[in-house]
Amino acid sequence: MKLLLTISYVGTRFHGFQSQPGLRTVQGSFQEAAERLFSKKLLITGCSRTDARVHANNFCLTAETADGSPLPAIPPEKLPLAIAPLLPPDIALLSAKRVDDSFHARYDVEYKEYVYIILNRPVRDPFLADRAYHFPVKLDAFLMDCAAKKFIGRHDFSAFMAQGSKVVSTVRTIKSFDVVRDGETVRITVSADGFLYNMVRILAGTLVAVSEGRIEISDIEKIIASGDRRLAGATLPPDGLYLNRVVYRQTPPEN
Amino acid sequence: MKLLLTISYVGTRFHGFQSQPGLRTVQGSFQEAAERLFSKKLLITGCSRTDARVHANNFCLTAETADGSPLPAIPPEKLPLAIAPLLPPDIALLSAKRVDDSFHARYDVEYKEYVYIILNRPVRDPFLADRAYHFPVKLDAFLMDCAAKKFIGRHDFSAFMAQGSKVVSTVRTIKSFDVVRDGETVRITVSADGFLYNMVRILAGTLVAVSEGRIEISDIEKIIASGDRRLAGATLPPDGLYLNRVVYRQTPPEN
C-alpha cells in the first residue's frame, strides 16, 4: 500500500523538488516531516522534477515504507492536519489517499498542466517578486494565444529544450495551450503528456517573442521542424512557473 | 516643493515603516534608495506607522530635501522606474507627484482603509504564509459583517487599543466596515479617520469571536462603552493586515 499525496509549495527557497545532498529541496523537507510523523524510513516518488524557484499549486507524490512494512494506520484524510506542524511554512499537504502498490506517481501521469504568470505593467509588484515574471512592455495576449495554438499536438520539441539535456525521446503531445490576460497579469496555461527540460519556460519566452514581433506566428511550424534551440525564444525565469495540476491515466483506486 | 509618493511593500521582513536604528525598516530602505537617486539628504514623512510584518498595498509618504534646497528636476512620472533598481524587491514605488509645501502626509489624511485577510480552510496555503491569518474553523462572514456595522460612527475605541498606548484622544470615526467571503478567504475592510495602536487587529479578533459565539453582537455597544480592553477579542497576528488606501482631505495640488 502506498499513499498518493498532493502538496503545494512556494519554490523560492528550494533547490527544486528532488533531493540533493546538502541542499534544501521539497522532497528532502517533505520526507523529513513524513518520516517523523510515521516514525518510519520512507520512499518518496514525485510526479515530476521541478527546478529551483519553480512553484507548485498541486504536486503529486507517493510515499511508501522503505522496508515494505505497512504504514501506520492514520486515516489518509487526517494526514494534512497531522503533518502540518512538522512541515516548513512553504510546503502544505493538501490531500492524501491510499493507492495500490502498482500505481506510479510519474509513469501513470496522463498529462500535467503548468501555468506561467507574467506581471505585465511598467512597475513591479513586491507581492509578486519571485512569484511572477515582470515584463514591463504591454504584451498582446490575443496574439500570444494564437501562437500558442500552433504548438498543440504531437511534435518533436527539441527546439524547446535546454541544450545538453539527455532524454530518450523529445516527442511530446501538447493537449492545450492558452494565453489570457487578467488585468495586469498574463496567464499562460499549457498541458501535455510530458515536458522536456525548461520546455514551458522556453515556450513562454517564444510567445513573448511573438508579441514583440521578433518571431512570426507563421514561423512556429518551421521552428518546431528545425529542432534548433537557437530559433526559439529565450528561457524565461523560473519564478513565474507553477506546476498547477497532474491528471492520472485512471483515477487511482482508493483502497 | 515636496513629492507625494505611493509605495507598496511586503511587510514580512521589515520592522515596520518607521526608521529605527539598526533595524530594517521600510522608511530606512526607501530613504536610502531615494537619497541615492537624488544625491541629497531627504526628510521622509509617512501617512502612518505600520507595525512589523504588516503589509501595504498603497502607503503614502512625502519626501523633501533635508536642507530645503530644491529636488533635482526628475519628472515625477519617471520616478517609479528610475528608483526601481535601487529599491529592495519587497518595496515598489507605484506613483509620484509634486505637492505644495503645506501638504502633510499624516495630518491631511481624511481616512485610511485597512484590509485584514483570513485564510479560512482547514489546511494552510504556503503562498499565503505571512500574508494572511490562517483560521481553520469555518467563519460566518455574514454574522461578522453584521457585527462590523455596529462599530460604524464616532466612538471612544479605548477597548480596542493595545494596553499601554499613549494617545491624546481615543475617539475615532469608523466610516465603513465590511466583511465578505471570497471562496476560502474572508476579507475584512475598515476605513476610519485614524486608528489606535493594534485597533484593526483587535477589531478583526472581535469579529472572529462573534463568529465563534464568544461575543454577542448585542454586546458590542456595551464593550465599546466599557473602554475595557479585556472585553474585546484577541489581537490577531500582523501577517493578515494591509494598509490598502489613503484618502486625503483635498486632492493634493499637482504643481
The verdict on a CB contact (< 8 Å) between A81 and B124 is no
The per-residue pLDDT for range A20-42, each reduced to its tens digit, is 999 999 999 999 999 999 999 99
Average pLDDT over every residue of A99-104: 94
Q: What is the dihedral of CA B137, B142, B148, B152, to 10 degrees?
A: 170
Chain B residue whose CA is closest to A88: B126
Instruction: Provide the b/e sequence for A27-62 (b: ≥16 CB within 10 Å).
Output: bbbbbebbbebbebebebbbbbebbbbbbbbbbbbb
Average pLDDT over every residue of A160-180: 93
Cβ–Cβ contact A185 with B under 8 A: no
Q: Report the pLDDT value the prediction gives residue B252, as an integer from 0 to 100.
A: 60
The per-residue pLDDT for range B103-126, each reduced to its tens digit, is 999 999 999 999 999 999 999 999
B91, B124, B136: residue with CB nearest A126: B91
Q: Report the pLDDT value the prediction gives residue A253, as an integer from 0 to 100.
A: 57
Average pLDDT over every residue of A156-177: 93
Rounded Cα distance between A45 and A42, Å, is: 10
The per-residue pLDDT for range B207-240, each reduced to its tens digit, is 999 999 999 999 999 999 999 999 999 999 999 9
Return the H-helix or E-strand segment holding B245. strand B241-248
Its sign, for the CA torsion B163, B185, B110, B80, is positive
Contacts of B122 in chain A (CB under 8 A): 80-81
Q: Report the pLDDT value the prediction gives residue B15, as an integer from 0 to 100.
A: 96
**How many contiguous H segments (helices) and E segments (strands) does chain B have?**
5, 10
Rounded Cα distance between B6 and B167, Å, is: 27
HEC string of chain A equals: CEEEEEEEECHHHCCCCCCCCCCCCHHHHHHHHHHHHHCCCEEEEECCCCCCCCEEEEEEEEEEECCCCCCCCCCHHHHHHHHHHHCCCCEEEEEEEEECCCCCCCCCEEEEEEEEEEECCCCCCHHHCCCCEECCCCCCHHHHHHHHHCCCEEEECHHHCCCCCCCCCCEEEEEEEEEEEECCEEEEEEEECCCCCCHHHHHHHHHHHHHCCCCCHHHHHHHHHHCCHHHCCCCCCHHHEEEEEEEECCCCCCC
Q: Tell which residue, A237, A208, A203, has the closest CA to residue A223.
A: A203
For residue A226, what is its C-alpha cell? Answer: 528545425
Q: Report the pLDDT value the prediction gives residue B50, as an integer from 0 to 100.
A: 87
Size of interface A-B (CB pairs under 8 A): 58
- Of residues B250 and A168, more confidently modeled: A168
ipTM of the complex as predicted: 0.93
Average pLDDT over every residue of A125-139: 97
The verdict on a CB contact (< 8 Å) between B9 and A91 is no
Q: What is the β-pairing status of strands A91-99 and B55-65?
A: unpaired
The verdict on a CB contact (< 8 Å) between A92 and B55 is no
The DSSP secondary structure of B144-180, one letter per residue, reads HHHHHHTT-EEEE-GGGS-TT---S--EEEEEEEEEE
Q: Report the pLDDT value the prediction gives residue A255, as an integer from 0 to 100.
A: 47
A8, A122, A127: residue with CB nearest B81: A122
Return the H-helix or E-strand segment holding B205. helix B199-211
B9, B84, B90: residue with CB nearest A123: B84
What confidence category does residue B250 fall into, taking pLDDT thresholds of 50, 70 and 90? Answer: confident
What confidence category does residue A167 fall into, taking pLDDT thresholds of 50, 70 and 90? Answer: confident
Q: Tell which residue, B248, B244, B247, has the closest CA to residue B59.
A: B244
Say whether B37 sits in a helix, a strand or coil. helix
Q: What is the mean pLDDT of chain A?
A: 95
Contacts of A94 in chain B (CB under 8 A): 123
Q: Tell which residue, A113, A151, A116, A92, has the closest CA to residue A248.
A: A113
For residues A76 and A56, is the Cβ–Cβ distance under 8 A? no
Contacts of B79 in chain A (CB under 8 A): none
Q: How many residues does this entry show for chain A? A: 255
Q: Report the pLDDT value the prediction gives residue A17, as an integer from 0 to 100.
A: 96
Based on its alpha-carbon atoms, the radius of gyration of chain B, rounded to whole angstroms, reads 19
Rounded Cα distance between B120 and A215, Å, is: 45
Helix axes B141-149, B199-211, angle to 10 degrees: 130
Residues 6+ positions from B99 with CB-CB distance below 8 Å: B1, B2, B3, B4, B62, B252, B253, B254, B255
Rounded Cα distance between A58 and B251, Å, is: 46
Cβ–Cβ contact B137 with A under 8 A: no
Q: Report the pLDDT value the prediction gives residue B165, as an integer from 0 to 100.
A: 79
Instruction: Provide the b/e sequence for A172-193 (b: ≥16 CB within 10 Å).
Output: bebbebbbebeeebbbbbbbbe
CA distances from B49 to A27, A140, B18 (A): 41, 40, 6
Cβ–Cβ contact B127 with A under 8 A: yes
Which of these ranges, A21-25, A49-53, A220-224, B137-141, has the smallest mean pLDDT? A49-53
Q: Report the pLDDT value the prediction gives residue A165, as an integer from 0 to 100.
A: 79
In percent, the amount of chain B with pLDDT more than 90 equals 91
Cβ–Cβ contact B151 with A under 8 A: no
Rounded Cα distance between A241 and A59, Å, is: 13
Q: Report the pLDDT value the prediction gives residue A242, as an integer from 0 to 100.
A: 98
Contacts of B55 in chain A (CB under 8 A): 127
Helix axes A141-149, A199-211, angle to 10 degrees: 130
Q: What is the β-pairing status of strands A109-119 and A133-134?
A: parallel
